[in-house]
Chain A
Amino acid sequence: MNKKIVYAFSLRKKEGIFFLLALLGIWTLVSTRFSFAADYLFPTPKAVAVSLWENLPELLEGTLSSFLILVPAFFSAILVGIVLGIIAGTTPWVNRLLGPFSRFAAQIPTTIYIPYAIALLPGFESAAGFVIFIGAFWPIFLNTTTGASNVPAHFRENARTLELNWFEYRAKIVLPSALPHIFSGLGISLVFSFILLTVAELFGASSGLGRFVQLSADYAEYTRMVAGILYVGVVVFLCSAFLDFLKHRILFWKKL
């Protein structure tokens, strides 16, 4: 396998894989030998795997409907966050203007907006999209601002001696120089987005991954629910791993 991919999936360490297998073993053992919880509450790995397989079409459909909300919200948060972050990080008065507000607003747990957003905005999709946008925006914006305001002096001076104009300086010097910070923001935002997505879906979705889990709980189908949870875990993991892969590709010059 490609070295970068191996790294992104953190499969380089045998210990990690061993630990996962051990967990699976313990789960099997606990769910088959001891029954401190009712069977239907604590299903065996096998039952979960079967349920995962049976529900795969529905889960894939749920993924699609979730991603139709998540992807536009997440990507517009990236775009707006990076652009505003670079402007704020390189323009002292903008930074002073936005500083107090963003420090305040970024602290508000975004989940708290969900009911209000649902009440305020037409349709569940726009409400969930809006909330994900807000939640993903702050980490990207704040990290980009930090990166953009900490461009090392020798790069800045170098750019000045080349007489780079406003746009060139930001696009060719500030952006690449801030990329390591931007990627840490992206990592946080990605996880936030999934949290917000699934929580929002618990509130009012008619389809989607969070909705799948919620429905299973409503009908007390816990095997199906555990399958759903694991599935969501795998999806988030794959997205994070992909982001990590991109990061190693794009920041190759950092010798990570």
Chain B
Amino acid sequence: MISDETNPGSETRISLENVSFSYGEKSVLRNINLHIKNGEFVSLLGASGSGKTTLLRIIAGLENPSSGTATDAGHAITAPSLQRSFVFQNYSLFPWLSLRENIALAIKKAHPELKRARRLVLARRHLELVGLADSVKKYPFELSGGMQQRGAIARALALGAPVLLMDEPFGALDPVNRSRLQDLLLSVWRNTENQRKTVVFVTHDVDEAILLSDRVVMLGSSPAGIIDEIQIDLPRPRSRRILTESNEFRHLREHVQNRFRTEVSRALGGIVTGDGDAI
């Protein structure tokens, strides 16, 4: 395979082999096989409760698979690591630290060699990136949900980890901030000097998944397996406007949406028919 500017490398970074997971009696994931290449951008789509968060938590090392193996760069994943930064679905800044202190704490762990003053400068810079320049000294309780979420994204980027795990990171944002942060994420992803980041991105938004990803992975209903994987070969950089007008995008979107819709209605036990009428 030819690896050019737009294609990810060929070595596998994250590898899940026959991974199953259950919370006690409740089986959530069944026989997941997923191999994510170094520098690849993968989106996870699936109905609510299908196990997207659980899958991401296994990759992070917050949960260990009930059976099967999860590896990062060939090493078994047994605990969380600074190599894989996690943006939680619910905002997860520490409420007793200001925005800047939250980011600075992460920087301190990722770059222990830096002086405190330098850490604070870097923290501010990352907050500026997500449009929070005016709020560096504010505390989470003074911020809206979307602002807190942007803070959490700034922290994940500040960690500079090669693997980014993001659980519906833009779910709480207004459309303007959402597209700004999508662009930011893509530019951080593309401009990493040595090696492009590997991103696993959970979303409910089909357009977002197509816009951002190299590959969209769809989870079925619980206990979930992977029901479909769609390669997104649209050229990058992708412009929203050109994209939405292209036939290729429309086909992809239709395909993913149909798949998504049948899956969601199956998850709801056939209560909703194809065109959304309740029975």
The answer on a CB contact under 8 Å between A253 and B140 is: yes
Q: Which of B64-109 contact A (CB under 8 A)?
A: 79-82, 84-86, 88, 90, 92, 94-96, 105-106, 109
By DSSP majority rule, is chain B's interface helix, strand, loop, or mixed? Answer: loop
Q: In the complex the two chains form, what is the Cα distance from A179 to B86 in whole Å?
A: 26
Alpha-carbon distance between A161 and B79 when the two chains are bound, in angstroms = 8
| Cα of A255 to Cα of B143 in the assembled complex, Å | 13
Binary CB contact string for chain B from 55 to 66 against chain A (1 if under 8 A, 0 otherwise): 000001010000
A154-B88, A160-B80, A162-B82 are contacts. A172–B139 as well, Cβ < 8 Å? no
Asked if A154 and B92 make an inter-chain contact with CB atoms under 8 angstroms apart, the answer reads: yes
Q: Is the beta-carbon distance between A162 and B60 smaller than 8 angstroms?
A: no
A173: interface (CB < 8 Å):
yes
Identify B90's interface contact among A154, A177, A253, CB under 8 A.
Answer: A154
Total A-B Cβ pairs within 8 A: 49
Q: Which of A198-242 contact B (CB under 8 A)?
A: none
Majority SS of interface residues in chain A?
helix
- Take A162-B109, A163-B81, A172-B105 as given contacts and tell me if A253 and B86 are in contact as well, using a CB distance cutoff of 8 Å: no
Using an 8 Å CB-CB cutoff, how does the interface string of A18-58 with B read, 1 for contact, 0 for none?
00000000000000000000000000000000000000000
**Of B84, B88, B141, the contact of A255 (CB 8 Å cutoff):** B141
Which chain A residue has the least Cβ–Cβ distance from B84? A161
Chain B residue at smallest Cβ distance from A172: B105
Which of A158, A160, A173, A254 has the most chain B CB within a 10 Å cutoff?
A158
> Least Cβ distance of A72 to chain B in Å?
29
Contact B141–A253 (Cβ < 8 Å): yes
Q: Give the size range of B's interface with the partner.
A: 20 to 34
A79 within 8 A of B: no
With A154-B88, A162-B105 already in contact, the answer to whether A253 and B95 are too (CB < 8 A) is yes
Give chain B interface residues in 154-177, CB to chain A under 8 Å. Answer: 159
Not counting A154-B88, A161-B81, A177-B96, a sample of 5 additional A-B residue pairs whose C-beta atoms are within 8 angstroms of each other reads A160-B80, A161-B80, A161-B84, A162-B159, A173-B94
A-B residue pairs in contact (CB < 8 Å), sample of 29 = A154-B90, A154-B92, A155-B92, A157-B62, A157-B92, A158-B88, A160-B80, A161-B62, A161-B81, A161-B82, A161-B84, A162-B106, A162-B109, A162-B159, A163-B80, A163-B81, A163-B82, A163-B109, A164-B109, A172-B105, A173-B94, A176-B94, A176-B96, A179-B96, A253-B95, A253-B96, A253-B140, A253-B141, A255-B141
